[in-house]
């Protein structure tokens, strides 16, 4: 299974206020969505999970998972550190 490394990491505030986590790959993004995300629903959230799985199966590009992760963050009002 491909980890789907990202060229540019994303640091976000986890579901515990003031705790940050940096995601550097699609596999880490999938774990973050499943374990650290404040909501477990939403269209962008579901799309991000599907895209992460596609990347890890080798049928999509890591950049697609990164973009989907960012859209899920917007949907869930998750703070992304600049």
Domain ranges (residues) in the chain: 5-81
Q: What was the pLDDT predicted at 32?
A: 94
The predicted model scores a pTM of: 0.92
Our CA angle for 7, 59, 40, nearest 5°, is 75
What would the pLDDT profile of 2-46 be if each residue is shown by its tens digit?
A: 688 999 999 999 877 788 999 999 999 999 999 989 888 999 999
What would the pLDDT profile of 41-81 be if each residue is shown by its tens digit?
A: 999 999 999 999 999 999 999 999 999 999 999 999 999 99
Task: State how far the Cα of 67 lies from the Cα of 6, in Å rounded to an integer.
Answer: 11
């Amino acid at each position: 299974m491909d980890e789907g490394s990202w060229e540019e990491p994303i640091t976000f505030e986890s579901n515990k206020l003031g705790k940050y986590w940096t995601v550097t790959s699609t596999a880490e993004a999938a774990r973050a969505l499943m374990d650290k995300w404040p909501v477990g629903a939403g269209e962008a959230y579901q799309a991000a999970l599907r895209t992460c799985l596609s990347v890890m199966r080798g049928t999509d590009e890591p950049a697609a998972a990164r973009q989907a992760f960012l859209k899920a963050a917007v949907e869930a009002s998750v703070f992304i550190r600049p």
